[in-house]
Amino acid sequence: MVEHAIELENSLPEDGRFDRIRDLWNITEDRVHVEVLRARLTRKLCDIYVQNGDVEGAARTIQKIQIETFGSVPQNEKVDFILEQMRLSIEIADFTNATILSKKINLKYFEKKDKDNDKRFQQKVAFYQRMIQCYMHEKNYLEISKQYQHIYNTEEIKSDNAVWPDILRNVALYVILAPFSNEQSDLIHHIINEPRLDDLKLAPPGNHLSLLDVAKGFIQPELLDWEYVLKFYTPTLQSTPVFSQDTEEGRVRWEEFRSRVREHNTRVVAKYYTTVTLDRLAELVGFSATNVQEIEPFLSDLIIKDMIYARIDRPKGIVSFIRPQSTEDQLNAWSNNIDELLKLVESTTHLLSKEETGRELSKATV
Within this chain, do residues 185 and 282 fall inside the same structural domain, yes or no? no
Assess if residue 162 is contained within a domain: no
Are 294 and 214 within one domain?
no
DSSP 201: B
What is the three-class DSSP state of 67? helix
Asked whether residue 362 is domain-assigned, the answer is no
Tell whether 286 and 254 lie within a shared domain: no
CA angle 17, 19, 23 (to 5 degrees): 115
Q: What is the pLDDT of residue 251?
A: 95
CA distance 325 to 250: 44
| Of 322, 273, 269, nearest in space to 295 by CA | 269
Q: State whether 252 and 301 are in the same domain.
A: no
Is 153 part of a structural domain of the chain?
no
Cα–Cα nearest to 2, from 33, 17, 24: 24
Residues 257 and 323 in one domain: no
* Domain match, 233 and 134 both: no
**AA identity, residue 325:** Q
What pTM does this model have? 0.83
Neighbours of 237 (CB within 10 A): 23
Do 177 and 264 have their domain in common? yes
| Domain-ending residue, one of 239, 271, 303 | 271
Tell me, yes or no, whether 258 lies in a domain.
yes
CA distance 256 to 234: 14
Q: Tell which of 271, 295, 330 closes a domain.
A: 271
Segments forming the whole domain that contains residue 111:
1-138
79 domain residue, yes or no:
yes
CATH number, domain at 21? 1.25.40
Residue type, 277: T
The verdict on 129 and 36 lying in the same domain is yes
SS3 277: strand
Whose CA is closest to 42, among 89, 81, 94? 81
Q: How many domains does the chain have?
A: 3
Same domain, 58 and 111: yes
Q: With respect to residue 213, please indicate whether it lies within any of the assigned structural domains.
A: yes
Whether residue 31 is found in the same domain as residue 100: yes
Domain boundary among 271, 298, 330: 271
Note whether 175 and 142 are within 8 A (CB).
yes
Residue 150, in any domain of the structure: no
Residues 181 and 238 in one domain: yes
Evaluate whether residue 166 is within a structural domain: no
Digit-by-digit pLDDT tens for the chain (366 residues) are: 555 455 445 554 555 566 676 766 666 665 656 667 777 778 888 888 888 889 999 999 899 888 888 877 888 889 999 999 999 999 999 999 999 999 999 999 998 887 778 889 999 999 999 999 999 999 999 999 999 999 999 999 999 999 999 999 999 999 999 999 999 999 999 999 999 999 888 876 666 788 999 999 999 999 999 888 888 888 889 989 999 999 999 999 999 999 999 999 999 999 999 999 999 999 999 887 677 788 999 999 999 999 999 999 988 989 999 988 788 878 888 899 999 999 999 999 999 988 888 887 777 765
Q: Tell me the CATH number at 303.
A: 1.10.10.10
Asked whether residue 247 falls in the same domain as residue 310, the answer is no
